[in-house]
């Protein structure tokens, strides 16, 4: 068998290389694809990745190509990240300009020469608009009003004075330090209670952690006057967490006013739109709170000044009225004193005259009474002496009658006692029975063989019981 003709693999690769280069030399293509398997060599500033096209139904990949970018392409990617705020990484849907390359060792690939920032900005804006539309459609406490949004949180009324503040921020946030410094070193010596609830505040994957901090604040039961979300500076992509649907929804319905000082200067996040008040930076958030409290203080000072001014006006008005009233009272008092003095003088004369008449009348009554008192004691003594003699005789007669009655009663009792005395009863033929030195009336405890003592009127008999027979009291031995 004759050996088949062959060429070396490198020769085949050279043929492919020459063919591809001759076909695609100098050509540029704008390609729509997704980024996967991305890696970046920072020291060489080279991006490695794959461009893939996914099926319309989302199941599977319909095309794939190795890609890389360096030099001018890497610079364009860096500009893309600055313009869009989006890091060039996996799962981005991008519009890129590529050239086709073939390398004998690494095969077919494309080099990214440019990337369309406006395309990515359009996608981000579409996502943002879709999120806002979903928030309005799915939650009745979020309403679009003109170019802004009205939420349950934005409709809450801020306390007249903000003192207790819960702050959600990164533990290493310089912006939060600026917030604290501004609050604690304010020009008006206001005191604030600031409680930190540290959380990751960048990266879409950290939305759950951020949500948990809101829940933790609510569950503490502390009556905070406001919740402040601080972020500080960073790339635009760092703020994408604040366009998260769940975070925005939670902020919109949170029962404590939320102030945002996220720190992005170019645009407003969805969380800013859902919050009660949004400011550009943590420092601005602190200044807003201080200004809010200052407005209340100035209102109070203004009220105080108005009260002082009105009080002075009222004082002058009433002082004049009081002066007039004082003069009127003094005049009427003098007249009243004069009239009352005249009346008192007349009454004094009438009293003196009446007193003399009354005294004369009573003097006559006293003389008559004195004469009667001199004669009456003798009459009373004679009358009382007769009464005492009568009472004496009555007592004596009553005592004699009582003694006679009691003597008769005593004799009756004496005879009764003699009739029922044991000696008299024994004389009538009765006997007394003793058992164990005690007089008994029942034979319940006496048994045959017991010794008993029988007392008659003239003797004591000791006897032994030989027989015991029950007796119902009906038989008689008389």
Separation CA 457–CA 455 (nearest Å)? 7
On whether residue 462 sits in a domain, the answer given is yes
**Predicted pLDDT of residue 17:** 85
How far CA 324 is from CA of 216, 315, 321, 389, 393, in Å, comes to 68, 14, 5, 87, 91
* Domain closes at, from 295, 313, 348: 295
On whether residue 72 sits in a domain, the answer given is yes
State whether 154 and 289 are in the same domain.
Answer: yes
**Predicted pLDDT of residue 353:** 83
**Predicted pLDDT of residue 181:** 93
Separation CA 13–CA 95 (nearest Å)? 30
Beta-ladder partners of 300: none
**Predicted pLDDT of residue 191:** 94
Neighbours of 48 (CB within 10 A): 15
Q: What is the CATH number of the domain that holds 56?
A: 2.40.50.140
**Residues 138, 139, 144, 149, CA torsion sign:** negative
**Predicted pLDDT of residue 220:** 92
**Predicted pLDDT of residue 228:** 95
What the block records as the tokens of 456 is 């008659």
Separation CA 407–CA 114 (nearest Å)? 153
* Domain closes at, from 98, 115, 132: 115
On whether residue 69 sits in a domain, the answer given is yes
Buried b (16+ CB within 10 A) or exposed e, 440-470: eeebeebeeeeebeebeeeeeeeeeeeeeee
- Name 214's Cβ contacts closer than 8 Å, sequence gap at least 6: 168, 227, 250, 251, 254
Burial class (CB in 10 A: 0-12, 13-18, 19+), 319: exposed
The interaxial angle of helices 174-184 and 282-420, nearest 10 deg, is 70
Separation CA 310–CA 318 (nearest Å)? 12
How far CA 282 is from CA of 173, 182, 231, 276, 398, in Å, comes to 10, 9, 7, 15, 119
On whether residue 79 sits in a domain, the answer given is yes
The range of the structural domain enclosing residue 244 comes to: 143-295
State whether 226 and 190 are in the same domain.
Answer: yes
On whether residue 131 sits in a domain, the answer given is no
Separation CA 426–CA 65 (nearest Å)? 150
Of 450, 448, 452, 449, which is closest to residue 435 (Cα–Cα)?
A: 452
State whether 69 and 211 are in the same domain.
Answer: no
What the block records as the tokens of 337 is 């004193």
State whether 227 and 263 are in the same domain.
Answer: yes
Separation CA 356–CA 113 (nearest Å)? 139
Domain count across the chain: 3
On whether residue 365 sits in a domain, the answer given is no
State whether 148 and 288 are in the same domain.
Answer: yes
**Predicted pLDDT of residue 92:** 80
Separation CA 397–CA 403 (nearest Å)? 10
State whether 162 and 62 are in the same domain.
Answer: no
**Predicted pLDDT of residue 18:** 85
**Residues 409, 415, 417, 420, CA torsion sign:** negative
State whether 221 and 89 are in the same domain.
Answer: no
State whether 86 and 149 are in the same domain.
Answer: no
Neighbours of 36 (CB within 10 A): 17
Q: How many Å is the maximal CA-CA distance in the chain?
A: 193
On whether residue 381 sits in a domain, the answer given is no
State whether 162 and 286 are in the same domain.
Answer: yes
**Predicted pLDDT of residue 233:** 56
State whether 67 and 192 are in the same domain.
Answer: no
On whether residue 429 sits in a domain, the answer given is yes
State whether 66 and 182 are in the same domain.
Answer: no
- The helix/strand/coil state of 358 is helix
Average pLDDT per run of 10 along the chain, which is 478 residues long? 74 85 86 88 91 78 90 89 79 85 86 84 77 89 89 94 93 86 92 90 72 91 93 59 88 94 73 91 93 94 91 84 86 88 87 85 84 78 87 89 90 83 79 85 83 86 85 60
Residue keyed to tokens 């989302």: 58
* Domain closes at, from 75, 98, 115: 115
Q: What is the CATH number of the domain that holds 203?
A: 3.40.50.280
Separation CA 285–CA 263 (nearest Å)? 10
> Considering the entire predicted model, what is its pTM?
0.50
How far CA 56 is from CA of 59, 89, 289, in Å, comes to 8, 22, 51
Separation CA 36–CA 62 (nearest Å)? 14
State whether 49 and 149 are in the same domain.
Answer: no
């Amino acid at each position: 068998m004759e050996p088949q003709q062959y060429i070396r693999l490198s020769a085949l690769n050279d043929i492919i290389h020459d063919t591809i280069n001759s076909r695609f030399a100098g050509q540029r293509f704008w390609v729509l694809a997704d980024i996967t398997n991305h890696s970046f060599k920072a020291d060489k500033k080279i991006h490695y990745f794959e461009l893939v096209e996914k099926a319309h139904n989302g199941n599977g990949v319909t095309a794939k190509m190795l890609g890389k970018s360096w030099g001018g392409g890497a610079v364009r990617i860096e500009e893309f990240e600055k313009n869009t705020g989006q890091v060039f990484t996996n799962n981005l849907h991008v519009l890129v300009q590529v050239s086709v390359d073939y390398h004998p060792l690494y095969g077919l690939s494309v080099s990214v020469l440019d990337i369309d920032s406006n395309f990515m900005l359009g996608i981000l804006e579409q996502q943002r608009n879709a999120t806002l539309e979903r928030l309005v459609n799915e939650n009745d406490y979020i309403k679009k009003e003109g170019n802004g949004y009205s939420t349950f949180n934005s409709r809450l009324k801020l306390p007249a004075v903000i003192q207790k503040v819960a702050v959600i921020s990164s533990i290493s946030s310089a912006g939060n330090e600026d917030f604290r410094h501004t609050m604690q070193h304010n020009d008006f010596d206001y005191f604030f209670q600031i409680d930190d609830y540290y959380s990751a505040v960048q990266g879409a994957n950290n939305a759950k952690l951020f949500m948990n901090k809101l829940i933790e604040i609510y569950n503490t039961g502390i009556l905070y006057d406001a919740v402040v979300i601080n972020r500080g500076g960073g790339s635009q992509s760092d703020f994408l967490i604040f366009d998260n649907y769940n975070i925005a929804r939670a902020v919109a319905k949170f029962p404590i006013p939320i102030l945002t000082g996220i720190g992005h200067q170019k645009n407003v996040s969805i969380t800013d739109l859902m919050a009660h008040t949004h400011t550009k930076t943590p420092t601005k958030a602190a200044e807003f709170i201080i200004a809010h409290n200052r407005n209340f203080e100035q209102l109070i000072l203004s009220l105080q000044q108005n009260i002082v001014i009105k009080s002075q006006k009222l004082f002058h008005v009433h002082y004049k009225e009081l002066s007039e009233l004082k003069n009127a009272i003094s005049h009427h008092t003098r007249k009243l004193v004069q009239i009352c003095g005249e009346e008192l003088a007349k009454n004094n004369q009438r009293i003196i005259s009446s007193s003399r008449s009354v005294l004369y009348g009573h003097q006559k009554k006293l003389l008559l009474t004195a004469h009667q008192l001199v004669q009456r004691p003798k009459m009373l003594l004679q009358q009382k002496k007769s009464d005492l003699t009568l009472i004496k005789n009555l007592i004596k007669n009553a005592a004699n009658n009582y003694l006679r009655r009691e003597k008769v009663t005593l004799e009756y009792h004496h005879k009764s006692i003699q009739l029922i005395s044991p000696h008299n009863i024994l004389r009538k033929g009765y006997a007394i029975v003793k058992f164990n030195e005690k007089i008994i009336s029942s034979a319940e405890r006496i048994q045959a063989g017991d010794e008993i003592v029988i007392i008659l009127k003239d003797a004591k008999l000791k006897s032994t019981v030989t027989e015991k027979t029950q007796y119902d009291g009906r038989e008689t031995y008389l």
